[in-house]
Amino acid sequence: MKKGIVQYFYVFLILSIGLFQCGTEKKEVLLRLKFNENQSLRWANTSKSHTEVFENDSLVLVENSIHEGESVEKVLTVIDENSARLRLTYYFEKKLPDKNDSSKTAMVKDSSIIEYIQDFHAVNIDIFPHDTNSIEKIEYVKRLYDQLAPRYPDEPVSIGYKWSNNIKVMLQGGEIKDAVSTYTIKGFVREAGYDCVIIESKGNTIVPFQAEYECRDGNGRVLETRIDKKKIHGIVYFAYKEGFIVKEDNSYELLSEGSKITADGEIKIKTISKGSQSYHLLEASGI
């Protein structure tokens, strides 16, 4: 009798292990952006920041700000199965001097538009800002977007999977620096009605900038040279079946250092900023 009980116990144990293993099969998904004609995504945005600006080591500005708005991304043209041209519009409010009383400010609604060609790895092949014709500013945006692109891997990913992107950045004077971002798959969750993979990102961006322009007061020209360095930590909820971001939360620390040269001489400039940005999906159509 005991022998039969023992045999039954071992059979039950083996079957239980088999069932357990089947129930915990590793989940794998492929990370891909998906583009459809007339596809439109709308997110709510919130950004918070604390900023300090220095000139020649003297503190000249301290600003705490909270901005809320919306962003809308529309597919303009599906180029092929791997890429599309998109338009991203940010809607926000900004302070401007009151028309009736220059000592006061008024909140005015505004928007900023950028178009880009993007592939399914989330790499921007080309970028077309609407708000500037400055070659230097356009180049700055391209460099920043290139460093922020996640470059989704070709193979399926599962919990614990990691990948890194390393972008070589040439600074003024020829020095080479590395902008490195590491991405980790943290889990799977149901978010806002979508099956999502949670992606954590940690990294830094390094973007040099140099441009000559007219002073705002019309008093001559300015040559501005600086390097913007940012540390970023983010969490993304990515709808892997539909191929878009449902939710994103980022925190950052920015250090910008450089100089401005005018007819009156050189001014050392430095900006230190800490803040956060969050996005959550409000509406998806044409998916």
Q: Residue by residue, what is the 3-state secondary structure of 127-157?
A: EEECCCCCHHHHHHHHHHHHHHCCCCCCCCE
Name every residue whose Cβ is closer than 8 Å to that of residue 121 and which is 6 or more positions away in sequence.
32, 33, 149, 150, 151, 152
- Judge whether 10 lies within some domain: no
- Judge whether 192 lies within some domain: yes
- Judge whether 23 lies within some domain: no
- Judge whether 98 lies within some domain: yes
| Structural domain count of the chain | 1
Round to whole Å and give the CA distance between 223 and 219: 13
pLDDT above 90 as % of the chain: 78
- Judge whether 209 lies within some domain: yes
pLDDT averaged over the chain? 90
Range of the domain at 110: 29-280
Round to whole Å and give the CA distance between 24 and 19: 9
Whole-model pTM? 0.86
- Judge whether 19 lies within some domain: no
pLDDT at site 112: 93
239 class by beta-carbon count within 10 Å (0-12 exposed, 13-18 middle, 19+ buried): buried
- Cβ-contact 64, 81 below 8 angstroms: no
pLDDT tens track for 127-179: 999 988 889 999 999 999 999 999 999 999 999 999 999 999 999 888 999 99
pLDDT at site 96: 66
Closest CA to 33 of 75, 2, 3: 75
- Judge whether 15 lies within some domain: no
pLDDT at site 39: 98
pLDDT tens track for 219-252: 789 999 999 999 999 999 999 999 999 999 999 9
**Does residue 17 have a pLDDT over 70?**
no
pLDDT tens track for 185-223: 999 999 999 999 999 999 999 999 999 998 877 778 999
- Cβ-contact 33, 244 below 8 angstroms: yes
Round to whole Å and give the CA distance between 198 and 219: 51
Residue 16 CB coordination number (10 Å): 10
- Judge whether 150 lies within some domain: yes
Q: Looking at residue 171, what DSSP letter applies?
A: P
pLDDT at site 21: 45
Round to whole Å and give the CA distance between 71 and 37: 19
